[in-house]
Amino acid sequence: MSTLPEEFTATTTWSDHLKVLRCPRCTSGLVPAPPRLRCAGCYATFPIRDGILVVKEQTDDNNRVAQEFYDSALWPKFRFWEKVTWVCNGGERRARNQVLRHLPRQPGLNLLDVAVGDGVYLPWMPVDWQVVGIDVSWSQLQVCRARTAGAPVRLVQCEAETLPFHDAQFDAVLSIGAFNYFNDPEGALREMIRVGRPGATIVISDEMPDLTGRMLGHKLGLPALDRWIVSRLMHLGDSFTDMVERFRNLDVRSIAGGVLPEVQYHEVWRGLGYVLVGRVPD
Ligand SMILES: C[S@@+](CC[C@H](N)C(=O)[O-])C[C@H]1O[C@@H](n2cnc3c(N)ncnc32)[C@H](O)[C@@H]1O
Ligand SMILES: [Zn+2]
């Protein structure tokens, strides 16, 4: 989207894309009630701030740990280490393409990005793709909005576990870097399947949940050393580090296999990450 055609230079808004939205409380459609959207069934209202539709601001448990981290000053410091990982894997674009290559190269693709973050890779996507991105972090969404200004990208603040979209709306659903710590990964995957059209491609990627267990401290029986490295040196912070430790044995493969028939599992980034690829059943 770095070379935008003329028609995308106007701000992309929700008002011309209401058909995909549904109320997370009663599942009715949403109608304009400027400067908000209103549910046609239960009359709940949802503000649009800075062009971003706000469906859910308050989160709990893991989602809150993630939201607070990505809204905090720790994230830019941790990002340095993420960049180091990309460099070790041939550069960010090449490394991310190990995941993005699983998306169908379909003209005019309607893509949902679950946990879009700051949308660093959205400018690499074909200019005719329509993208909806959701995330819990307001600051990430704002950076994403600035990065994709004028492009056909629409953003929603909400949780992966309750997507405010009607069934069968998207040709593909992507989620990178968040699945392991969703409050309910299986529930979030069921939602991704629900909003995907029959045959839609689902691509989910994250780091291997057991990465800290592979560190030297754990091998030497000194887990506190690894904890210090991850939480302080790498700036993940205490709450996120606790969460990483708690979910070290998460079996993403069996979670996905239980919900998405014939899902494929590939290792990426020299075994540091995984990608799950499946199709919404017909
Ligand atoms: C590592 S970032 C990944 C962002 C982007 N996909 C990327 O690869 O650069 C993880 C993102 O997941 C979001 N997130 C975490 N849990 C979430 C949930 N339950 N629902 C929606 N977003 C979530 C965070 O706010 C954060 O922006
Ligand atoms: Zn409603």
Q: How confident is the model at residue 12 (pLDDT cuts 50, 70, 90)?
A: low
| 65 within some domain | yes
Answer yes or no: is the C-beta of 67 below 6 A from any ligand 1 atom.
yes
Domain extent for 132: 51-209+250-279
Higher pLDDT, 112 or 150: 112
**CATH code where residue 123 lies:** 3.40.50.150
DSSP-assigned letters across all residues of 36-53: EEEETTT--EEEEETTEE
Answer yes or no: is the C-beta of 236 below 6 A from any ligand 1 atom.
no
Give the pLDDT mean for 1-23. Answer: 66
What's the structural domain count of the chain? 1
Measuring CA to CA, how many Å separate 163 from each of 117, 173, 180, 230?
16, 12, 18, 32
3-class SS of residue 209 = coil
Answer yes or no: is the C-beta of 140 below 6 A from any ligand 1 atom.
yes
| 145 within some domain | yes
Ligand 1 probe mutation, 140, 211, 235, most atoms within 8 A of CB: 140
pLDDT in tens, 118-168: 999 999 999 999 999 999 999 999 999 999 998 999 999 999 999 999 999
Contact 125, 105 (CB under 8 A): no
Ligand 1 probe mutation, 68, 72, 137, 157, most atoms within 8 A of CB: 137
| 240 within some domain | no
| 27 within some domain | no
Q: How confident is the model at residue 81 (pLDDT cuts 50, 70, 90)?
A: very high
Q: How confident is the model at residue 5 (pLDDT cuts 50, 70, 90)?
A: very low
Tell the residue number behind the tokens 């109608």, with chain if given.
Answer: 31
pTM score, whole prediction: 0.95
Answer yes or no: is the C-beta of 55 below 6 A from any ligand 1 atom.
no
| 59 within some domain | yes
Give the pLDDT mean for 229-252. Answer: 95
Distance (angstroms) between ligand 1 centre and the Cα of 112 equals 13
| 16 within some domain | no
Answer yes or no: is the C-beta of 160 below 6 A from any ligand 1 atom.
yes
pLDDT score recorded for residue 2: 43
